[in-house]
Amino acid sequence: MRGVEHEDVTPEAFEAVVETEFTLPLADGGTYAVALASCTRLTATPGAPRAEPFTLLFDGPPGPHLPQGTFTFTHATLGDVTIFVVPLGPGPDGRHRYEAVFN
pTM of the model: 0.89
pLDDT in tens, 6-61: 556 899 999 999 999 999 998 899 999 999 999 999 998 888 878 899 999 999 99
| Domain extent at residue 25 | 6-102
What is the tally of structural domains in the chain?
A: 1
Is residue 21 domain-resident?
A: yes
Residue 4 has what pLDDT? 54
Minimum mean pLDDT range among 45-49, 62-66, 83-87: 45-49
The answer to whether residue 67 sits within a structural domain is yes
Distance of CA 98 to the CA centre of its chain: 7
Please report the pLDDT score of residue 77 as a whole number: 92
pLDDT attached to residue 48: 80
Residue 76 lies in a domain: yes
Domain assignment of residue 30, yes or no: yes
Q: Is residue 1 part of a domain?
A: no
**Residue 3 pLDDT:** 55
- Cβ neighbours for 34, distance < 8 A, ≥ 6 positions apart: 21, 22, 23, 24, 58, 59, 60, 73, 98
